Structure 1
Amino acid sequence: MAAPREKSAAATSSAAAADAAGAGGGGNRWGAAVGNLTELGANVAALQRLLAKKAVFVDEDIFSKASLAADQARTIKILDQRVQSLERELDAAISAAARARTEKRQAEAAQRAAELRAQEVTKELENTAKVFKLHMEELRAKQEEIAKKESDIKVLEAIIRTLSNKDDGGSSE
């Protein structure tokens, strides 16, 4: 009776291993399930071998306690794996947050630099406008001076024409 059970446990174990190999690592849950099935098959096979060699009779209370302890050990193992997974996720989240803070600081520094540059350019434009205004005032003053000199020249030309007309008229008389 033990031989058929050993064969079915070995078949279950090898089928689970074949499924795991065919799945190509389709996820942590699948891998954990296959691992649990493989472990269960190995445990059943070991129990069958043990029962075949030594007939052990245990009362129901001891068997249920041992079964409960085995279940708790598996649960603890699964929970430990989950804790490790969560710790890795937490470490990744902390690293991502640190990178985000660094990028934010760099962006803020770049923004401050751009604002300072904008202020410098604004001051340069204001200074250029002031210089331009002074040059315009100077040009207006020169233009007024030129206009005054032109008017003086016209007056002098008129005086010269008048005098030259008198001289021409005086020598003809």
Structure 2
Amino acid sequence: MEEKETGSGRGNSEERWKGAIVNLTEMASNLDSLQKLLLKKAVFVDEETFAKASLSSEQARTIKVLEQRVETLERELDAAISAAARARAEKRQAEAGQKAAELRAQEITKELENTTKVFELHMEELRAKQEEINKRDNEIKLLEAIIQTLGGKESGSTTV
């Protein structure tokens, strides 16, 4: 098993080494080019000038970070203002809905009160009619009793 690995692995290993050497050669060439470029373009300054330049550079980076933070806060503020405006609109809509519901409740209450009054009037009318019916019923019974009494006397007087 080791022979197979070394046989096929050796070809892959050599290719890898060749690729790595080519990469290292290219990197060395790139480093040489970069070093030459730096030597041509490099500016040498004293420590005080370098310190001031470093401070300015640091301040510029800080300013850039702060500007980004301000932009982020402005976006958050705009979003909060929009959310507050939506909340106010929803509140007004809810208040209008509540007002409409209250008015509807008042209308329904008035309808119920009116219906109750009409019902009470009908009940009074029914009671009055019931009393009238009872009164007439009593009159009818009285008349029937009178008729029977008179009828009984007539039958008794005709038979005598």
1:62 and 2:55 correspond: no
Match of 2:98 among 111, 128, 136: 111
- The aligned counterpart of 1:129 is 116
Amino acid aligned to 1:58: V
> What displacement does 1:50 show?
5.8
Kindly report which structure 2 residues correspond to 1:1-173, keeping only aligned pairs within 5 A, or say none. Answer: 51-173=38-160
Structure 2 counterpart of 1:96, one-letter code = A
Q: Whole-Å Cα distance in 2 between the matches of residues 84 and 172 of structure 1?
A: 128
Greater Rg by CA? 2
Following superposition, which runs of at least 4 residues in structure 1 exceed 3 angstroms of deviation?
48-51
Structure 2 unaligned blocks of 5 or more: 1-26
* Larger RCO: 1 or 2 (CA < 8 Å, sep 6+): 1
Match in the other structure for 1:36: none
The Cα shift of 1:52 comes to 1.6
Once the two structures are TM-superposed, the CA of residue 54 in structure 1 deviates from its matched residue by 4.1
Residue 71 of structure 1 aligns to a residue in which SS? helix
Distance across 1 between alignment mates of 2:144 and 2:111 = 48
Q: Between Structure 1 and Structure 2, how many residues are aligned? A: 131
Cα drift, residue 59 of structure 1? 1.0
Superposed CA offset, 1:47-77 (max 9, x none): x776421453211111111111111111111
Distance 2:125 2:61 in 1: 95
Instruction: Give the TM-score normalised by structure 1.
Output: 0.71
Aligned residue type for 1:65: K
The AA in structure 1 aligned to 2:73 is L
Question: Aligned partners of 1:100, 1:55: CA distance in 2, in Å?
Answer: 60
Gap regions ≥5 residues in structure 1: 8-44
Distance 1:106 1:129, change over 3 A: same
CA RMSD of aligned residues (A): 1.9
Residue type of the partner of 2:134?
Answer: A
Identical columns (%): 71
